Amino acid sequence: MKALVNLILYTISLLPESVAIATGKAIGCLLRFFNFRRFIITDSIKTAFPHFTRQEVRELRKKCYQHFGLLAIEILRQANYKKLKMSEKVDNADLEKKLKPLIEKGNGVCILTGHLGNWELAGVTLSQCGIENFTTVKEMKSKIGNYLLYQIRDKNGSTTVNRKNAMRAVIKQLKEGKVVTFVFDQNMNRKEAIFVDFFGKKAATMASLATIVRKTGADVIPGALYRNEDMKSFKFWFGEPIDFIENDDSKESILENTLRYNQTLEEMIKTHPEQWIWMHKRWRTRPVK
């Protein structure tokens, strides 16, 4: 099975860029034709943008499918990152201007991001730029799935840490002044989550980022790698660092800062709503009534 995965990745790497983009668009059209998670996408868009007209919902859903098709091809081609010279397609200006000076402070840096733009390419590109970074992820149950992700991520320098056992490892990395990426937009199970608003609706959100920042004093900066309109190049975006707000009640402090992280992520999604994964069941876990 691994040989088959390697063959598929190699074959996709041979595609000319124009053909790869056309293939991605075709995948998006197929997803749309077969109504892949159509109701989830529609419901998610309506939750986030209740003022949208029916036409605006349809238009964003269409763009979402195209983004996902392009993303699928981009991620598979990423296994051959160096061969395809993918670093040349990324504008690193914001990385140099905002991220690197923050790293130089030595407090450790937490990048707040989501499944937005091409998050997989972002992690590898950081590593290729000499920034050692770790990403907390949910490990896949499938061995072949984990092997595929290894080819895409770890082989190219993007180190991942299993989210379930990440706390100690993450704190160690931050105390050493390194970078840890938190993909913050996933639905969490009730045991791991706290409930704060996300686009005006309570969402099960990871408390670990605020907890870790409170313990370590690490800096938090929002960031994403957005695809440009030409469909073949990307641009890093980093916002202003988010200061941690401390108060006497530790639980309230965690809630308040987690809400601020969600609000920041909302604004990042609004910048390029077509590049977020609306098919994810973000509000699936509900608070106990």
pLDDT in tens, 6-24: 898 999 999 999 999 999 9
Q: Range with the lowest mean pLDDT among 100-114, 122-136, 145-159?
A: 145-159
How many whole angstroms separate alpha carbon 270 and alpha carbon 266? 6
**DSSP letter assigned to residue 99:** I
pLDDT band at 141 (very low <50, low <70, confident <90, very high): confident
Q: pLDDT (tens digit, 9 = 90+) per residue, 50-75? A: 999 999 999 999 999 999 999 999 99
Closest CA to 257 of 225, 217, 226: 217
Write down the pLDDT at residue 52.
98
Environment class of 133 (CB within 10 Å of its CB; exposed 0-12, middle 13-18, buried 19+): buried
The pLDDT assigned to 253 comes to: 95
Look at 69-73, 74-78, 163-167 and tell me which has the smallest mean pLDDT. Answer: 163-167
Q: What single letter denotes the amino acid at residue 132?
A: E
Please report the pLDDT score of residue 153 as a whole number.
Answer: 87
> Residue 60: which of 33, 41, 73, 81 has the closest Cα?
41
Give the pLDDT confidence of 179-204 residue by residue, as tens digits.
999 999 999 988 889 999 999 999 99
If you average pLDDT over every residue of the chain, what do you get?
93
Confidence check: pLDDT of 164 > 80 = no
pLDDT surpasses 90 at 84 = no
* pLDDT classification of 121: cutoffs 50, 70, 90: very high
Mean pLDDT of 131-154: 83
Instruction: Provide the sign of the torsion angle of the four alpha carbons 173, 95, 231, 39, taken in this order.
Output: positive
The structural domains of the chain, with segments of one domain joined by +, span 2-275
pLDDT band at 137 (very low <50, low <70, confident <90, very high): confident
Continuous H helices in 189-249: 208-216
Tell me the pTM: 0.94
CA distances from 280 to 42, 54, 114, 165 (A): 11, 20, 12, 23
Helix (H, G, I), strand (E, B) or coil at 202: strand
pLDDT for the residue 161: 78
**What gap in Å lies between CA 152 and CA 5, rounded to an integer?**
11
